[in-house]
Amino acid sequence: MDPAVLDKIIEKLIEVRSSKPGKIVQLSESEIKQLCAASREIFVSHPNLLELEAPIKICGDIHGQYSDLLRLFEYGGFPPRSNYLFLGDYVDRGKQNLETICLLLAYKIKYPENFFLLRGNHECASINRIYGFYDECKRRFNVKLWKAFTDCFNCLPVAALIDDKILCMHGGLSPDLTNLDQIRTLPRPTAIPDTGLLCDLLWSDPGKDVKGWGMNDRGVSFTFGPDKVSEFLAKHDLDLVCRAHQVVEDGYEFFADRQLVTVFSAPNYCDSEACRKKKQVHDVHKNVIGTILYFEESTVSAPVRPSDQEISTLLTFTYLKNVVWPECFDFTLNPPESRAGQNPTNAGNSLAARFAAGSFIYTLAFSAYSQEVQGHFECLLEQAVISGRRSMAMSKLKDF
């Protein structure tokens, strides 16, 4: 693809970030078909199980919420400033599916080694034919363009392994998955079958009250219990499963003693006329918070629930070598064994082990502030935490 054409497309897509949310970006049919063809070639050239390294930011479902995707990049940094892994479900239900998928494909072409996309269950013709993407393609262009996207989606990789320890996919585990090489050898291009390993990777869900494998209320694939997560991680020497696929109102949710995390990046999900007409969970999910997970080389970053006024957030843990545990904050994690002067990584060398041990300090990146102000806030908060003084910590927080 001509780099000049690609740059022009990206510029056109992101220039609306200062406009009122919902502004349409009308690319030409030729430009979109070039995006589909070029990205398809890249997807096919990459393995089905991507092997990635931290630092990387992981994003869950987007569902055509283009304004929120742009806001996500504003918080996390536009590529190539940050590395990204998206876990699928880019289209359907939202109002700007074409802008959303076109920007993601454009960044994949522009930065193929820094920007990664996995397949979700909605990157499937039989699903997005029903839930909005097909209709948008037909209304704004034609059915042939929708078919071009289908050919592209059929080549998307389905899982990623970060630092050989964190397995990422859209859906979840499968009773058919006994070896990670099975993921690597899944055929592409392919439609998503109704059963089997590929189906489960994109459709299965964790179930709190499930032991072993259970029936899925979706009518597709399975649910799996905490025991299956523990068993899978132990067998494959992994620390964490990271997945999307389910609406979680805090933007994230842990499962199986923090051995699995669900991340959801579409704030106010299903807040659309179509959902209201179909009476689909609009009232339940109207305050859903979108979240990014950030994995660094020496830290695991994860979200804390912000205020209800936040539309979307990037929340991180900042790791301090000499941790004074901040008693002034009400953390859900238990404090680590180590104290000031000791290295809390003794609690475990793995990312997930240090994460579970609580050797991290929460910091918030507020949507209302620029990157510079966010950095200043984090610095102040770190100073307050290091001091161990409640009054100082509280006064610093009140400044923001």
3-state secondary structure of 184: helix
CA distances from 283 to 271, 288, 289 (A): 8, 10, 14
Q: Which residues are catalytic?
A: 122
Where does residue 20 rank: exposed (0-12), middle (13-18), buried (19+ CB within 10 A)?
exposed
Distance CA 5, CA 34 (A): 9
Distance CA 171, CA 89 (A): 10
The rounded radius of gyration (Å) of the Cα atoms in the chain is: 21
Place of tokens 């996919």: 169
For 172-207, letters b (16+ CB in 10 Å) and e give: bbbeebeeeebbeebebeeebeeeebbbbbbbbbbb
Contact 263, 166 (CB under 8 A): no
Contact 106, 38 (CB under 8 A): no
Pairing of strands 166-169, 159-162: antiparallel
Where does residue 341 rank: exposed (0-12), middle (13-18), buried (19+ CB within 10 A)?
exposed
